[in-house]
Amino acid sequence: MESILNNSFATFFTFVGVIFIYFLVIPLILFYWMNNRWNFMGKFERLGVYGLVFLFFPGLILFSPFLNLRLKGDSKG
């Protein structure tokens, strides 16, 4: 068991996994949630979203050009 804990490859892959989750997985889930719920959120849900945005800001800034929170219009010219 101690040889597994001292293995540098396991440490490296664990680090890469945490970074992958922090920068890619959770920000994409958060963007999806915000895009679907932005106009219908209650005050506590919005407060929670603001806290998560603060916590995952580095990952969110990578995907920010793709987020559109504007109201969907009636598509008339």
CA atoms within 13 A on the CB side of 53: 13
pTM of the prediction?
Answer: 0.74
The predicted-structure confidence for 63-73, as pLDDT tens digits, reads as follows 888 777 676 66
CA distance 10 to 33: 32
Domain boundaries, the chain: 19-65
The predicted-structure confidence for 16-28, as pLDDT tens digits, reads as follows 999 999 999 999 9
CA distance 65 to 60: 10
Which has the closest alpha carbon to 58: 5, 22, 6, 10?
Answer: 22
Q: Hunting for tokens 């793709």 — which residue is that?
A: 66
The predicted-structure confidence for 41-64, as pLDDT tens digits, reads as follows 999 999 999 999 999 999 999 888
